[in-house]
Structure 1
Amino acid sequence: MSSEPYFNNAGISLLTSLSTDDMKTLPASEEKDRAPFEINNISSANPLVKEYCWQPGYRYVYLANSVLDGLAASKGVTSVMKNQLRAEALFIRAFSTFYLTNLFGAIPLPTTTELTKNLHISRSPSSDAYNAVLSDLLEAQQLFSIDKELSLTKDAYPRSRANYWAATAFLARVYLYLEKWTEAEQQATAVLDQTSLFALSNDLDSVFLANSREVIWQLLPVVKDGRPSGPYDAQLFLQRLNKRPLIHLTESFLETPEPGDQRLVHWVDTAHVWNTNTVYHFANKYQQPNGQDQFHVELRLAELYLIRAEARAHLENLSGAVDDVDMIRRRASLALFKGQSITRDALLQKIAQERRMELFAEGGHRWLDLKRTNQASATLSLIEYKKWQDTDELYPVPQSEIVSNPNLGPQNLGY
C-alpha cells in the first residue's frame, strides 16, 4: 500500500483536500487533471479518479481476497499464522471498502477472486458496504485478539503491520460515521487505555516518525534502488525548488488556527517564490521525501481522542468530551476548555474545528467530515471559485469501468 502515491498513500489526501476548503493547486493550464477537483467540476473521464481512487482501491480488495482464498485452501499454514494473516487481509479489505464507499457511494463488493463472480458484479448501496466493513473489522478484531501484541512486539517496525489495536481504532472511526456514539466511545477508549503502547507525542515534529508512540498504524516505505523511499505526502505537498508548491493551503484554512496554535508553526511551512511577491503556505507534516525516518501514518492517537470527544458530546458527557479535546489543545499550546461554560452544540463546533486543524492533509478527513455531518453544501457552496452542486459529494465512477461492466451503472447523479 506504500509502493505508489495513490489511494490511501497520499492520493486520497491530495484529491479530497482540493475538493474541500483546505487546499488549492496550480492553474488548470498547468494541472488539467487536478484542477477540476479544486472547483468540484470533475469528469467521469478524469484519469485521477481511476488511477488514484477506484483502481488502487479495488486492487487492494482483490489482493485481500486473494489472501483469504489462499488461506482457506491452504493446509500448510499453522492456525496461529492463518489467524494473523486472515485478520490482516480482512482489515485491509475493510479499510479499502470504507474509502471506496465514502468516495463513490454505491460500490461493488467482491469477496472472492473468481472471475466469473466479479466480471459482471453490480454495485451495492453504501449501507451494505458499511455492513461489510463492520463484519470484516469485527472478525479481524476477534482473530487479532488471540495475541493482541503480536505485531507490536515482534517486528522491527511493529506499527507498520495491521494489528488488534488498528482494527479497534478503525472500528471507532466507522462507528462514529454511523453515529453509533456508544460503540465509538467504547472502541476509542479501548485503545486510549493502552498507555503502555500508545501516547500523544509532546513534540509535534516527532508525531509522524517511524515507530512514534502516537502511531497506531503506519505504512512501511518500499525499498527502491537499495534504500527506503520517503512518504509520498512529502513528495506531493512540499515546495519545489524556486517554484510554488503543487498544492498549497487556502486562506480559509489559514484562518482556522487560534493565535499561538503550534500546529501552524510545526506542520505548516511557507514558500517564497523568487520572481514574485507571493507567499504560499503548504502542509509540512512530512518533511523527508527521500528519507527513512518518517512513515505515512494512517491511524494515530490524536484522532481517537477527537472521536471519543465527539461521541461523548453526543452522549451528553460534556465534561468527558472537554477532557479529550483539551488533550489535543494542550499539545498545541492553546487555552483549555475545562472550567468554561459551553453548550453541546458549541462544543461540537469546537471539535469539528480541532479535527480540521489536527487532521488536515491526512486521510481525507476534512472532506469526509463535511459530508458525514451534512455540512458539505453549506460550506462549499459559499466559495466563489467552486462550482458546487449537491451531487458533488460523490465522485463519478470512472466511465471506462462502466463501459467494461455496464452493471456498474447508472453513473452517480450529476456526471
Structure 2
Amino acid sequence: MTTTVVPTEASAASVGWRLGALYGPAIYGVSAAAVAVPVAADRLHTTPAAAVWILTIHALCLGIGAAVAGRATDIWGPRHTLSVGAALLAAGTVLCTFATILAVAVAGRALLAAGSGAMTATALTLAAGRPPPQRPAVLAHLGAAMALFSATAPLAGALAVTTSWRTALVLPALSLTALPLCWPLTQPRQRAPARVDWTGGALLATTAAGLLLTIQSTTLHLPPPAVAGLVAGTCALAVLADRHRRRHPDGFVPTVISRRRFLLAGLAGAGVYGGLFACVYAVPQILTRLGYSAEGIGLLLMPSAIVAAATARLVGRAASDTARRRVLTGVTALFSASLLLAAWDRRPVALICATTAAFAAFAIAQTTLTAAITARVDPRQRGGALGLLNLISFTGGAVGASVCSALWQPWGLPAALAAVAVLPAIASAGAASLHCRWMNRTG
C-alpha cells in the first residue's frame, strides 16, 4: 500500500512574511547605511560630500533595477530574475567588504542596489500573482513586514556600525537569507521565443538614471550647466523611450505606463514615498539634537512600526478594494497633517506620531496600489507594471529626501519638514482620484 503526500498550500500570512523578508532589506540601503557614511568617508580617505555617493548610487540603481527586473520577470520568469539578483547582491557584498577606495565602495553599492531592485520587483510580482482570494491578505502581510523594516532601519544601521562600517553598507544582502523561503513560491517558466527588446530596456534604464540623477543634483552639488545637460538629456531619452514603446507595444516598456489609472497610482505612491523618505531623514536629525543616541532613536521608532504593521493587516482584511482606497486617502491626509504638527511642535511625541503615520501610509500604499494595478493589467505585463510603479515610488522618495536636504540650510529642518508635507497631500489627492475613477467605472 502506497501513501501519497499532497503538498499543502502556503498560508497568506506565511507567503506575505516571506516576500516581506525578500523585499525589506532593500530599505536598509539608505536609512541604515546613512549612519555609516561619516565613518566610511574617513576610512576611505575622502570627503563627506563625496561619500554621499554611497547613498545616491543606491537610490539610483535600486530604481533602475526594480524597473528592469519587473519586466524581466514577465519575459524570463521570477526564478531567473531572482538568480540574477542574488548574484548581484553577492558581488556587491564582496566589493564593499574589500573596498579601500571610494570608487570600489560605490561600485559595490551599485551592484547591491541593482540586486535589491530585482528582489523588490520579484517580491511584488509574486505577491500580485497569488490567487485572487489570497492576494489581499498576502499584500497586507507584505506591507506589514515592510513597515517593520522601515522603522528598524536606523537601529539596524547603528548596531551594524558597532561591528564595522562595512557591515552597515551591505545590509541589503540580508535578502539572500529569504531566498530559500521564497524559491518554492516561484514557478519554472520557459523563455519566450520572441526576441528580447534590449533597446527598450536600455532606454528605460538610462531614462530612469537621468531622472534620478537630476533629482539628486542638489545633494551632489552639481554645477548649473551639468544640471541643464541632465534635464535636456533625460527629456530626450524619455521622448525616445515613448516613441519606442509606441512602435513596440510588446517590448520592454509596458503599455500600461500611458494609462491614467497607472499614472494616478504612481502619483499616490510617489507622494507617500516622498513623505516617508523625508520623515526618516529629518526625524532622526531632530531627535539627535534633542539628545537621543542612534540606538535610542531606533528603539523610539519601534512602536511606530508595530502600529503600522497592525494597521496594514487590518486594512488588508477590508472587504473591498474601494474600502482600502478610502483608507489610503484618509491615512495619507493624516500623514500630511502629522508632518505639519511635527514641524510646529518638535517634541518626541509629535515626531513619533509623524513617523507612525508615515510607516502606516507606506504599508497601506504598497498593499492598495499593487492590488489596484494588478486588477487592470495583463498578467503578461504585470511584472513590468509593478517594476515601473516601484521606480516612480522610489523617485518620489528621492524627491522627498532631496527637497528636505536642500531646504535644511536656508530654512531650517522644521521648515523643510513642513514643506515636504505637500507630498503626502498629493498622494491623498491621487488616491482619491483613483477611487473616484474606480467608482465611475463600476457605478
TM above 0.5, one fold?
no
Would you tell me which structure has more strand in proportion to its own residues?
1
- Higher RCO structure, 1 or 2 (CA under 8 Å, sep 6+): 2
Scaled by the length of structure 1, what TM-score is found?
A: 0.28
Scaled by the length of structure 2, what TM-score is found?
A: 0.27
Would you tell me which structure has more helix in proportion to its own residues?
2
